[in-house]
Structure 1
C-alpha cells in the first residue's frame, strides 16, 4: 500500500543507544566475559610490570663521588661509644645524659639544636574524630614527665639556599634504653650530618630529627610534624631538659656543659619539606649480604613519588652493593597453584617468542611467583590503609617519605666490619640527599599511583585499573537489565488482569510502577544505616572496662545480630504484608537486586577514589556475589540441579565475603588452623579504626551491609510488600 501523508518514517536510535540496548539484553554473557577477563587481568599484572626509571633528570643519582671521610666515621664511632657508656646508668639519668651528648655533638657541628616535647596519647576509636587528626593542642595538655617524650632536633642551614626548602632525616631512638642497632643507625645519620655541615653545595636545609621512640616510632614523628605545620603560640612548646630529672641526682648536674646553653628554647623550623628519609638498622641479621628493606605504604593507600624509591634502589644496588628488598607474602612463594600458573605463562612466552622474536611476553616461573608475592603484599598494605612505618606521618602532610631499614649480614657488635657498614650506609643516605638537593621543585614527574612487583619493577595505575574496570563493568548493565525485566513482568501481570473498563486504573498503575524503585531504595538505605550503626558499636564496646578482645568480638557480633533483628521486626514484619503471586515476587526481587547492585557500584567507585587497592579487592569479592544472588525460596521451589548449584554458590560467596569469615579464612590459609582466635578479628579491626583507615568504613557500610542484606530474611521477596 502507498504511504499516507500522516505516516512518518520511524527513526532508528543512535549507535551508542543501540550498543547499550545490546549489552543490556546480553548482560549475562557480558558479565561472564568481563569477570573472567578481570580476574585474568589481575593474574597478568606481574607479566605487565615495567622496569623502573628516573623520570626527573635533575635528580642525577650517583653523578657525584661520595665525600664522607674517615674523620666522619671516627666521630660517629666516638658518639656511639659515648652513648653506649650510659647503658649501666639509671634509665632516667641515662636518657637525659644521652640527649645532652647528642646535642653537644650537633652543636659542635654548628647546627641549631632544640628539644621538642610531645604528649603521648594512645589512638582510640572516636566516631566524631574518625576522619580528622587529633587536636594540635593535645600535645600540651596534662603535663607530666611520665606521659611525655622528648625529641631532639638539629638543623643545618644551607649555605647556597634561601631557607625555603628542607630535607628531613629521621632516626628513631630510645633514650636511656637503646640497643646496638639503634645506636648504629644514629651513627650513620651523624656521619651524614657531619659531612653536610661542611659542604658548600647544599641548597636545602637539613633537619636531623632524632625521634624519642619510647612510645613507638610513629607517635613522635606525627607530633613533631603537627607542631611544625600548626605553630603553638601558648609558650608550652618549649622544654628544659632538666625538668624531668630528679634534683638530687649528682651525676646529671656534674655533667652540665657550655654546649647545653646553646640549645634553643623555642620550636625551630626550616623551610618546606621536599622529602624525608627514615633510617633504621634492623636487629636481625641478613643471611648472605647487607640488605636494604624499603617501606613506602602510608595511610589509605598513599604512596610516595616513585622517583624517590628509584633513586634509593639505584644508589643501593649500583653504588653500595646492597641487596634491596620490599615486602612479600611469603606463603605465596611456596604456592603450588601459583607455580603452575607461572609455568603456563612461561610456556606461552616461549611460544610467543618463537612466533615473533620481537614479542616480549612472558617471564620465568620463578620471577612470576616472586612478582605475584610482592604485588599481593603491595595490594594488601595499600588496601589496609595503615602506614608501614613513620613515613606515613609525612604523607599525611603531602611530603614524600620512605623508611629505609638496613640489615647487616653480621652482628652490629662485630668491629671488623663496623666501619665498612657505616661507610656504605652513610654514602647511601648522602647520595639520596644529594639527589633531592638537586631538585628545583617537589617530586611530580613520576607516578604516585602504582604497585611494586619488585624493587625495580612496578605496575602503574593505567594498567591495574583495567582489572577493576572489567570487574565492575557488568554491575550497571545487570542493574538496568533487572529493572527492565521487572517492568516486563509487571506489564505481563497487568495485561492478564486488565479489562476494557480498567483503562484509568492502568494509567495509575503505570505511574506507581515507575516509582517502585523507591521502595527498593528504601530497603537498601535502611540496611546501610544498619551497617553504619554496626560500625559505631565498637566506640561503646571500648567503654566496657577490662574487656578482652575475644569478649569484645562476641559482644559486637551479638549486638549486630540483635540490631538486625530489631530492624527486621520494625520494618520487615511479615504480618504487615499480603500474599503476592510468583511473578510479582520475581519482579519485586529484580528491582530490589537492581537497587542493591547500583549501591554496590556507587560504593566501589567512591572507594576507588579514596583507596584504589581496597576497591580492587572489594570488587573481586562483591561483584561475583552480586551477580549470582538469587532468592533461596525461588531456587528451592525450582528443584533443578542448576538452582541447587546456585544455592551452594550463594551461600559460599556470602560466607567468604562476610568480613569476619573472610579474615579467618585468609588467616587459616596463610598461618594454619591453629592460629585462629576470636580476638584476632577485633584486634585487626581495632587497628583499622585507630589509624583512621577508610577501609574500616568501607567494610562496615559497603561490604558488611551488602552481605547482611543478602542474608537477611526480611529482604527476601516473600516478605516484601507489593506496590499499590
Structure 2
C-alpha cells in the first residue's frame, strides 16, 4: 500500500487529471440516475395527513339545493353588467365598466351582511402599467377573536387569461352561505381581483403593509392568514376533475398537508378526480410519474407565479388554486361543497400548518418524495465542480524538482531524476482572481438592462446579448492565450487557477441553492456539467481546431441565452413574453434579508441580532418574516404599541413603560392557569403555555423577549415613548419581502429628544420617539388618552391618541390630525393609530375619515378640540376632561370639526 501511494503521488497526470475527471463523471452519472430512480415505489412514499386537526372530509357539506338558485341569480346580474359594457364598447370605457362591476360586487356582499372594502392599485414594469381595483369582504368569526383568517380568492381572469365568471359568482354565493353559519372560529375573507397576478399581489402586500406608493392601503383587515384557496371555473359547462396548482414563486411550495387535504376531500368525500401538473390521463406508471415530477421541477426551477396562490407564499401563507378541467357531470355545487369542506378543515386548525413537508416532489396526487430523498442528486452534481476545483488548485501547486545525477567516473551526459513533490510552486493569484470577479460582476449588466428597458426591446436586446455571449469568450481567450499585443500571455498555472476559482464558486453556489430550490440547482448543474471537462488541447493544429470548434458550439448551446431561445421555440412562447414576466417578478415580488438590510445600512447581521436581543417579539434573522420591525442601531427598544384587543402583556391599553425593561413581559399577567402569548392573549393550550417561542417569557433581570411566526402579523409593533432622557433610541426598519427587492420600509431614527415628529407616507414612514425615561428625571405617570369613534356608544372604527406632556404648551402642542399627526412640543411622546372595530386594521396617523366623531372616550387628561388645523380658537373650540365612560355627541352640545387637538395630563 505505501508503495502504491508513493507511485500515485509521483504520477501527477493520474492524480490531478485522470482521477478527478473520473470522480466528477461518476458524480454526474450517479446524480442523474438517483433522480431517475425516485418514481419507483422503493424510493417514493404514499401521501398522508400529518396534522390530525385537519380531519379532511369528516364533516357533511350542506352547500346545495337553494344555493344553486342564488348562484344563477348572481351570475345573471354579473353577466348583464359585462354584456352591457361589451355592447356599449366605445361609449363606455373600461374604467366605467370596472366601477359598475365593483359597485355591484359591493352591493351583493353588503346585502349578505359582510363588511366590504375596495383597493385600487397600479404597478409599472417593463413599460407596461398594470392597474385595477380589488373588492373584498370579511366574515368575522362568531366563535373567534379576529386573530386568524382564511382567504378565498376569485380572480376575474384566470392564470390562462380566461374570464372566470363562474368562479366569481361561486365566491359570492359562498360568502352569503358562510355568513349564515355560526361555526367559524376564523374570519373568512372573500377577495375578488381583476386578474391572477397583479391584483392578488397588491392586496397581500397591503395586508402586510409592504405595498408601494402606487398601491392603496387596506381600510379593512383581519388577523394572521392561515391559508388561501383560489377558485378558477372559467367555462359554463359541467366539469370532470379538479386540477390542483400549488407551485409558488422561486420554487416555494405550500405545506404538503394542504395539498393532501384538498385531494382527500375532492377524491374521497366528493368523488371528484384530482390532477396535478396538467397530467390528465395519469395511469400511475413509471413514465407518467417521471413526467409529472419533471413538470413540477421545471415550474419550480423557472420560479414564476403559476396562479393567484403564488403571491401568498412569500408571506408564509399556504395556498393552492382549484381549477376545473374537462367536461363531465360535476357542477358548481360540487365545487362549492369541496371548498366548504376545505374551509371547515382549515377552520379546525389550532396553529399554522407546520407538521408536514415544505420541500417535496409530487409524482402523483397520492405519491411524493421528500427533500431527504431527492437532495443527494443535486448535491452530487454540485460536488463534481468542487472536486475539479480542488484538483486544479492542487495541480497549480505541484512543482516537479529535477536534479542532474553526478557521476564523476563517467563522462556521459547527466540524467534527470524522476520528479518528486518535494516543494510547492508559487501561485500567481492576482490575474485569475481579478478576471473571475470581474466577469461575475459583468453578469449584473444584463440584469440591469432587462429590468430598465421597455418590453418592445426585449427580443432585440436578447439577440444582442447572444452575439456578445459568443464573441466575448473568443476575444478573451485570444487575449489571454496569445496576448495580441495587449497583454502578456497567461501561463498554464493561471489558466488552471481561473478554472479552479470558477468551478469552486459554481459548486458552492449550487450546493447552497439545492436546499432552497432543488430544481433550479439541478438544472443549472446539469447544463454546466461540460465546464468540468474543458481543458487545453494538445495535438496537431487541424485536430485542435476541429475539437475546439465542436466544444465551442456545445458550450454555446448550453449557455443561458441559447437555452432561453430554445425553450421559447419549443414551447411556442415569445421571448418578449418570458422576459416581461421575469421583469414583473423582479419589480413586484421582492424580499429583504438581514444580510441585505445590514449591507444597506453599513452594519452586520451580528449587529442586527445584538440590537434586537431585547426587542419585543424578535424572532431572529433566521426567522425573519414580512412585516417584522427590527432595530438598526444600539439603544433601548421602543415600547410596543397598545393593542385594543390585548388582555395581557405590555400591549394592554394604558400600560406604562416599566422602569426596568426586563419587567416588560411580566406586565398584566394572566390569571392562573392561563399563560400570556406575546401577541397579548391568554390561553391554556400548548400554543400559549408550552410551545417554545409563543409564550411571553417571565419577568426577571435576564428575561429576553422572543416570539413565533404564527402569531398575528397584522399588528406590527409601533412606538410608544415618553419623557425626557439622555439615552439613545434605536433606529428600526420594517423587514420585508422573501422573494426579491425591498419595496416598502419603515424607519425610525435617533433624534434630538426634545422633538417628536411624525411624517407618514405611502412607502416610508419616518418616526421619531423620545428614549426610555429615567425616573429621577421625569416623574412617571399615566399618559393622556383619547379614543374617537365613528359610531355612537363608542362603537365602529376609532382613532386612538396618547401622550405624556403634563401641561398644555400653547401652539407648540397642536396636533393636526388631517394628513398626518404633527407634534412640535417638547417632553412628550405621542402614539397614534387608526383602528377598525375588530382591532386588527390600522392606517397611518391620519384621521381624515373621522371629521366629527359620534362618540369618544377621554380616559385620562384633558383635550381641546379645534375646527382648524392650527388650533386657532377663533373658529370654534371646546375642551373635554375625563368624562365617565363613553361620551356621545348630541345636538345640545356643540362640537367643532375635529381638525386638531391640544391634550395634556394635568391641563392648565
Against the structure 1 CA distance between its residues 682 and 566, is the aligned structure 2 distance closer, same or farther, given a 3 Å change threshold? farther
CA contact (8 A) 1:283 1:407 kept: no
Against the structure 1 CA distance between its residues 537 and 188, is the aligned structure 2 distance closer, same or farther, given a 3 Å change threshold? closer
Against the structure 1 CA distance between its residues 207 and 495, is the aligned structure 2 distance closer, same or farther, given a 3 Å change threshold? farther
1:153 equivalent in alignment to 2:136: yes
Q: 2:204 aligns with which of 208, 225, 233?
A: 225
Query: For structure 1, which runs of at least 5 residues remain unmatched after alignment?
Result: 1-9, 14-21, 127-145, 239-265, 334-363, 411-416, 498-508, 697-724
Following superposition of structure 1 onto structure 2, how do residues 129-208 of structure 1 map, counting pairs within 5 Å? 148-173=131-156, 182-208=164-190
Query: For structure 2, which runs of at least 5 residues remain unmatched after alignment?
Result: 6-13, 86-91, 406-421, 591-908
Partner of 1:531: 443
1:110 equivalent in alignment to 2:19: no
Following superposition of structure 1 onto structure 2, how do residues 302-341 of structure 1 map, counting pairs within 5 Å? 302-328=252-278
Against the structure 1 CA distance between its residues 479 and 565, is the aligned structure 2 distance closer, same or farther, given a 3 Å change threshold? closer
CA contact (8 A) 2:150 2:189 kept: yes
1:45 equivalent in alignment to 2:22: no
Against the structure 1 CA distance between its residues 532 and 442, is the aligned structure 2 distance closer, same or farther, given a 3 Å change threshold? same
Partner of 1:123: 125
Partner of 1:36: 29
1:299 equivalent in alignment to 2:246: no
CA distance, structure 2, for counterparts of residue 44 and residue 510 of structure 1: 46
Q: CA deviation at 1:605?
A: 2.5
Q: 1:56 aligns with which of 45, 48, 51?
A: 51
CA contact (8 A) 1:72 1:194 kept: no
CA distance, structure 2, for counterparts of residue 233 and residue 299 of structure 1: 19
Against the structure 1 CA distance between its residues 36 and 101, is the aligned structure 2 distance closer, same or farther, given a 3 Å change threshold? same
CA distance, structure 2, for counterparts of residue 463 and residue 496 of structure 1: 57
Which secondary structure state, in structure 1, belongs to the residue aligned with residue 327 of structure 2? coil
Partner of 2:315: 397
CA distance, structure 2, for counterparts of residue 228 and residue 423 of structure 1: 31
Partner of 2:397: 487
CA distance, structure 2, for counterparts of residue 105 and residue 520 of structure 1: 68
1:552 equivalent in alignment to 2:461: yes
Against the structure 1 CA distance between its residues 236 and 455, is the aligned structure 2 distance closer, same or farther, given a 3 Å change threshold? closer
Partner of 2:431: 519
Partner of 1:259: none
CA contact (8 A) 2:379 2:511 kept: no
Q: CA deviation at 1:76?
A: 2.0
Partner of 2:519: 613
CA distance, structure 2, for counterparts of residue 524 and residue 219 of structure 1: 39
- Deviation larger for 22-31 or 476-485: 22-31
CA distance, structure 1, for counterparts of residue 470 and residue 557 of structure 2: 18
CA distance, structure 1, for counterparts of residue 542 and residue 589 of structure 2: 39
CA contact (8 A) 2:125 2:587 kept: no
Which secondary structure state, in structure 1, belongs to the residue aligned with residue 56 of structure 2? coil
CA contact (8 A) 2:381 2:526 kept: yes
For these two proteins, the number of residue pairs brought into alignment is 550
Which secondary structure state, in structure 2, belongs to the residue aligned with residue 172 of structure 1? coil
Q: CA deviation at 1:663?
A: 3.2
CA contact (8 A) 1:301 1:382 kept: yes
CA distance, structure 2, for counterparts of residue 589 and residue 568 of structure 1: 10
Partner of 1:627: 532
Partner of 1:135: none
- Deviation larger for 222-231 or 198-207: 222-231
CA contact (8 A) 1:537 1:556 kept: no
1:472 equivalent in alignment to 2:359: no
CA distance, structure 1, for counterparts of residue 169 and residue 588 of structure 2: 38
Against the structure 1 CA distance between its residues 306 and 635, is the aligned structure 2 distance closer, same or farther, given a 3 Å change threshold? farther
Which secondary structure state, in structure 2, belongs to the residue aligned with residue 310 of structure 1? helix
Following superposition of structure 1 onto structure 2, how do residues 310-459 of structure 1 map, counting pairs within 5 Å? 310-328=260-278, 367-407=285-325, 409=327, 421-459=331-369
CA contact (8 A) 1:297 1:382 kept: yes
Which secondary structure state, in structure 2, belongs to the residue aligned with residue 37 of structure 1? helix
1:681-714 per-position Cα deviation (integer Å, ceiling 9, x unaligned)? 4543443233129999xxxxxxxxxxxxxxxxxx
CA distance, structure 1, for counterparts of residue 54 and residue 215 of structure 2: 40
Comparing both structures, which one devotes a greater share of its residues to strand? 2
1:269 equivalent in alignment to 2:252: no
Against the structure 1 CA distance between its residues 563 and 76, is the aligned structure 2 distance closer, same or farther, given a 3 Å change threshold? same
The TM-score normalised by the length of structure 2 is 0.55
Against the structure 1 CA distance between its residues 547 and 34, is the aligned structure 2 distance closer, same or farther, given a 3 Å change threshold? closer
1:249-270 per-position Cα deviation (integer Å, ceiling 9, x unaligned)? xxxxxxxxxxxxxxxxx71111
CA distance, structure 2, for counterparts of residue 290 and residue 319 of structure 1: 15
- Deviation larger for 36-45 or 608-617: 608-617
Against the structure 1 CA distance between its residues 682 and 52, is the aligned structure 2 distance closer, same or farther, given a 3 Å change threshold? same
Comparing both structures, which one devotes a greater share of its residues to helix? 1
Which secondary structure state, in structure 1, belongs to the residue aligned with residue 169 of structure 2? helix
1:509-554 per-position Cα deviation (integer Å, ceiling 9, x unaligned)? 979x4442443222222221222224333346x26xx955442323
1:538-586 per-position Cα deviation (integer Å, ceiling 9, x unaligned)? 346x26xx95544232333456667778878998844255578xxx63x
Partner of 2:191: 209
Q: CA deviation at 1:235?
A: 13
CA distance, structure 1, for counterparts of residue 82 and residue 150 of structure 2: 32
Against the structure 1 CA distance between its residues 388 and 551, is the aligned structure 2 distance closer, same or farther, given a 3 Å change threshold? same
CA contact (8 A) 1:59 1:438 kept: yes
Against the structure 1 CA distance between its residues 495 and 313, is the aligned structure 2 distance closer, same or farther, given a 3 Å change threshold? farther
CA distance, structure 2, for counterparts of residue 368 and residue 591 of structure 1: 44
Against the structure 1 CA distance between its residues 155 and 367, is the aligned structure 2 distance closer, same or farther, given a 3 Å change threshold? same
The TM-score normalised by the length of structure 1 is 0.68
Against the structure 1 CA distance between its residues 649 and 93, is the aligned structure 2 distance closer, same or farther, given a 3 Å change threshold? closer
Which secondary structure state, in structure 1, belongs to the residue aligned with residue 50 of structure 2? coil
CA distance, structure 2, for counterparts of residue 695 and residue 567 of structure 1: 36
CA contact (8 A) 1:154 1:207 kept: yes
CA distance, structure 2, for counterparts of residue 547 and residue 534 of structure 1: 16
CA contact (8 A) 2:247 2:253 kept: yes
CA distance, structure 1, for counterparts of residue 462 and residue 182 of structure 2: 60
CA distance, structure 1, for counterparts of residue 376 and residue 84 of structure 2: 60
1:78-128 per-position Cα deviation (integer Å, ceiling 9, x unaligned)? 21122223344245655444333332332232211112222x2232399xx
CA distance, structure 2, for counterparts of residue 610 and residue 107 of structure 1: 43
Which secondary structure state, in structure 1, belongs to the residue aligned with residue 372 of structure 2? helix
Partner of 1:278: 230
Which secondary structure state, in structure 1, belongs to the residue aligned with residue 351 of structure 2? coil
Q: CA deviation at 1:429?
A: 0.2
Q: CA deviation at 1:237?
A: 4.4
Which secondary structure state, in structure 2, belongs to the residue aligned with residue 473 of structure 1? helix
Q: CA deviation at 1:667?
A: 5.1
1:604 equivalent in alignment to 2:510: yes
Q: CA deviation at 1:40?
A: 0.6
Aligned Cα RMSD in Å?
A: 4.0
